[in-house]
Amino acid sequence: MGRTEPSQLYEIEEERVGVPVKGGLYEVDLVSRHCFPVYWNGENRRVLRGHWFARKGGLDWLPLREDVAEQLEIAYRSQVCMIIQIIHFIV
């Protein structure tokens, strides 16, 4: 029997487990980023992943695009690391 490559392992796993949300009435497929009803037929809804948000209008906060959020996260973490190094140097 031939050796299975790591990329093939992912392809073999066809069945994905959804993450239950809204009291288990819906599930979210994290790979496709869609939410779908569990117990009835209905349309899938797109799911946004948000780490960083921007205010739009009055009280509305919307997630930033993932590429922008990733850049912000990298900049934030580098600043936090620098502050921690300064604190350790002082103490």
Prediction pTM value: 0.50
Please give the pLDDT value at position 21: 93
CA dihedral 20, 10, 12, 35 (to 10 degrees): 20
Q: Tens of pLDDT along the chain (91 residues)?
A: 455 555 555 554 556 678 999 999 999 998 888 999 999 999 999 887 788 898 888 888 888 888 899 999 999 888 887 788 778 777 6
Domain segments of the chain as ranges = 1-47, 49-91
Q: Give the DSSP letter string of 30-89.
A: TTTTEEEESSS----EE----SSEEEETTTEEEEPPHHHHHHHHHHHHHHHHHHHHHHHH
Q: What's the pLDDT at 6?
A: 53
